Amino acid sequence: MRTPVYAPRGVVATSQPLAAQAGLAVLREGGSAVDAAVAAAITLTVVQPGSNDIGGDLFALVWDGAQLHGYNGSGRSPAALTLERMVAGGGTPTGALGGAQGAAESAPPPRGWLPVTVPGAPAGWRDLHARFGRVPFERLFADAIGYAEHGFTAAAGLSRSWARSVRAFAEIDDPACAGWAEVFGRAPRPGEIVRNSGAARTLRLLSGTRCAAFYTGEVADALDRFAAATGGLLTGDDLAAHEGDWVAPMSADYRGHTVHELPPNGQGVAALQAFALLDGFTGTDPHRQIEAMKLGFADAHAYVADPRTPTPDLLDPSYVAARRALITEVAGEPGPGDPMRGGTVYLAAADGDGMMVSLIQSTYLGFGSYVVLPGYGFGLQNRGAGFSLDPAHPNVAAGGKRPFHTIIPGFLSRDGEPVGPFGVMGGHMQPQGHVQLISATLDDGLDPQAALARPRWYWHAGRNVTVESDFPAAAVADLRRRGHAVTVTDDPSDFGMGQAIWRLPAGGYVAGSEPRADGLAAGY
């Protein structure tokens, strides 16, 4: 059983030990928490492929020592994308459905070029460093380039998830995805050395140009040519037009604390509404938590879309009170269906000056679109699979839009003072993981490692709830008595993977890393 990590000056927590050490090395050299987070994020594209890549997106929350900043680094769809093209490419439109769940039921094609959106991660690394970095930008790439060129040792968790993606690839018949097999087509065994010379080449280009090569230089030109030759809609103009956005975080109160999330196009509002609903109850009843999450998801899937689309105030106190009244003693039937599960990495970092970072990065479904740029060693995300194919929905597929996003970084504060960054990756599990992690911390007083280790529940759809095999038997019996269809499983893949770092009152930090993953919290 893991114990929490206590560190007086700084800490980095990620789902992969090599990435955590890459970030910690930057901290020890005088880098900021943002430097450490970006170095870890870049390294994760190499040592945890499938969950994230150079061709993915990122979001971040940064406490700079005085205030909290939000960053939306998600990319937009190609300008040429239309609903008609999405349907013609394999999507199946249906009636009015909700957000990402509606998109899942109306089946936008999840692989190949159509769900590819502009990758925002490289621009995010650049923008975060430009505002909060201390060390040279090139330094942040050193470990990632080294592991890509000279190799890293595959861990057991990576081997298992990679093998699942290889099996999924066997069912894909799309010439645009053929290059995936050359780079990622065989899952490494635990302990095997993995190299990716193409990724090393790309990372060197990004390092030396502050990522301009990705959007207006060599990599952008190669993506433009490859898309044109293989039926993709992505163009050099789409890449050149990309910009990340600094945004004001949203928040909700819970147990005398404030939980912060990013505004749409992410699903953080689902977690915030659940916290607001639960703050009107006492105790940690899993039934109420599940019912609150159902209501939060129902609204998020109905209203969350591109940030330019106005979103109703889902946290208005009177509206929350009305929604809370819908939580009864028996399991309810939510309207929306099941969103798609995803592959993501979450990391947190903190430095000796009080800067703290909550960062999440993803290509969405395992290995994203399975479209790999030949010679450059990275794959492209498939975030367009989060669009709806309902013409009346605000999240309907169209050109130049950000789709509904599942990845959400979290941050906790109290009375205007920071407590720390947290997050739980895993598609539909993410808001549910936020609720369970924070409840374990604030309701039951657990340290971050113990809170992350606590057995979890996962709401799938309807009245279907899955719980881990060590979930308390009395709680399982109570959920079944209230009408939930509970499945108990030994498979940890449904329950997400998280990290958390809390600031200690006397100074320093305490951190935890997900016990269901290969991760590490490393401090000094």
Rounded Cα gap, residues 76 and 53, in angstroms: 17
The encoded tokens of residue 512 equal 């935890």
Query: Any idea which residues carry the catalytic annotation?
Result: 344
Asked whether the beta carbons of 421 and 348 are under 8 A apart, the reply is: yes
Angle of the 286-303 helix axis to the 268-278 helix axis, nearest 10: 140
Rounded Cα gap, residues 39 and 18, in angstroms: 11
Strands across the sheet containing 257-261 = 5-7, 509-513, 497-503, 417-425, 410-414, 257-261, 250-254
Q: Is 333 exposed, middle or buried (0-12, 13-18, 19+ CB in 10 A)?
A: exposed
Longest dimension (CA), the chain: 60
Residues 6+ positions from 117 with CB-CB distance below 8 Å: 57, 74, 75, 76, 77, 78, 381, 383, 384, 402, 403
Name the DSSP class of 300: H
Rounded Cα gap, residues 12 and 24, in angstroms: 6
Asked whether the beta carbons of 509 and 6 are under 8 A apart, the reply is: yes
